[in-house]
Amino acid sequence: MHLRCFTLLLFVLLLGNAQAQNPSPAPAQTGAVLILGATAHLGNGAVIANSAIGFEDGKLTLVADATTIRIDRSKYATVYDAAGKHVYPGFIATNSNLGLSEIEAARATNDYADIGQYNPNLRSIIAYNTDSEVTPTVRSNGVLMAQVTPQGGVISGASSVVQLDAWNWEDAAYKTDEGIHLNWPAMRAFGGFQSGNPGMRKNEQYENEVQALRRFFEEAKAYAQQPAPEVKNVRFEAMRGLFTQKSTLYIHADQAKTMQESVLFAESFGCKPVLVGASDAWMIPDFLVEHKVSVILSKTQRLPSREDEDVDQPFKTPALLQEKGVLFVISDQGFWQQRNLPFQAGQAVGFGLNKEAAVTAMTLNAAKVLGIDKTCGSLETGKDATLFISEGDALDMRTCQVTAAFIQGRSISLDNKHKQLYQRFEKKYRQ
């Protein structure tokens, strides 16, 4: 009797888990698709009010004004009537630990950092979890690709770019080990409430930390100049690409002076720097333009960095950088937060940033920084058919409603745990 009860209970639990499983990855595109009548935001700043978007075998074959061409619908297996709707390239979440973390409070589900301070050999891609229940919630707001990024220490490891509909990390990988992440020492740091001095204080070890970092880079560069070292050093091997600019050096820094110092540091070793976080980027736009440095901004919906800054400084920083000609990307932090990425960009639109520039900051600019702009990031013929259809403005949380999404031409499921819970409890309260 007890065995039968246990078996029945196990069956019920397994059935419940099966119902809550993530959608299976979509099969490869088998027929040509046409989207007609939508307002197309191409990602490069251009807009087509009445567009015709066609794609086949995962690639865009038609991006045109529907009022100026003749279209043979018989060539397309599926035709979407998108009149009154909007089409966007898939948004790209940069500097994210999506797929590397599942439950913040459960340490066993967090796989984005390791012990030690200098870990350039750590590869985020092999830790990427395609079965994360968070990923489908992010896709539902148009975020279809991500840069999965390690964290912690001085040198965190290598990030990779993934597309968000795959069976395993090998399938998800779009560009692997495209950059090494360096956390630049801060000149001033928050003391912490437990220290008894919770305000900002000078980092007395700043110069020592920078010198230690310089010695590590000097050793790594000397090692990289040896084509076949007698003894292989896995940490230095991981840094070889930095000194040939095959990979990018992502420098996480916020203060204006440390940003400038870190860029000059990178250039002294022949590295290609990209600043991440960059709260003070609005203070040094001329320096960034002169040194051709791109910036991945942290989220706009936050407090200013200093007491004497304008309260809306994070909101208007993107517009200031756009005006000065700085190539910038808008990002969010963490993993589940990436579902709000388009609304971070929408916040900047309300403070002077052109709406199409905001779209570009999550699409083509992100693709340029990641080195994948030849194949994705905008709606152009020959590029991947990674895009989505929204009922309204995707940057406005009041009207954003994604009704269809495609990754490399595959029509992906937009179901997720949030929608399942909504439907479940909606039925409860309707009774």
- Would 245 be classed as within a structural domain? yes
Other C-beta atoms closer than 10 Å to the C-beta of 12 total 10
Task: Output the pTM of the full model.
Answer: 0.92
- Would 343 be classed as within a structural domain? yes
- Would 304 be classed as within a structural domain? yes
CA dihedral 189, 192, 195, 199 (to 10 degrees): 60
CB 54 within 8 A of CB 34: yes
Predicted confidence at residue 351, as pLDDT, reads: 96
Q: Is the pLDDT of residue 17 over 70?
A: no
d(CA 331, CA 342): 9
CB 223 within 8 A of CB 233: yes
Domain range for 389 is 15-89+378-431
Residues 297, 256 within the same domain: yes
**What's the structural domain count of the chain?**
2
- Would 201 be classed as within a structural domain? no
Q: Where are the alpha helices (DSSP H) in 300-391?
A: 313-324, 341-349, 355-360, 364-370
The pLDDT of 233-257, averaged and rounded, is 96
Predicted confidence at residue 255, as pLDDT, reads: 94
Write out pLDDT tens, residues 104-130.
Answer: 888 889 899 899 999 999 999 999 999
Other C-beta atoms closer than 10 Å to the C-beta of 177 total 18
Contacts of 334 (CB under 8 A, 6+ apart): 96, 97, 101
- Would 220 be classed as within a structural domain? no
Residues 329, 237 within the same domain: yes
Residues 59, 107 within the same domain: no
Residues 383, 372 within the same domain: no
- 329 beta partners: 296
- Would 207 be classed as within a structural domain? no
d(CA 52, CA 192): 56
Predicted confidence at residue 252, as pLDDT, reads: 97
Residues 175, 249 within the same domain: yes
- Would 210 be classed as within a structural domain? no
Confidence of residue 13 (pLDDT cuts 50, 70, 90): very low
Q: What is the CATH number of the domain that holds 73?
A: 2.30.40.10
Residues 371, 305 within the same domain: yes
Residues 66, 122 within the same domain: no
Residues 279, 369 within the same domain: yes
Q: Is the pLDDT of residue 11 over 80?
A: no
Residues 82, 143 within the same domain: no
- 33 beta partners: 55, 78
Write out pLDDT tens, residues 167-195.
Answer: 999 999 999 999 999 999 998 876 655 65
- Would 6 be classed as within a structural domain? no
Predicted confidence at residue 413, as pLDDT, reads: 94
Q: What is the CATH number of the domain that holds 237?
A: 3.20.20.140
Write out pLDDT tens, residues 50-77.
Answer: 999 999 999 999 999 999 999 999 999 9
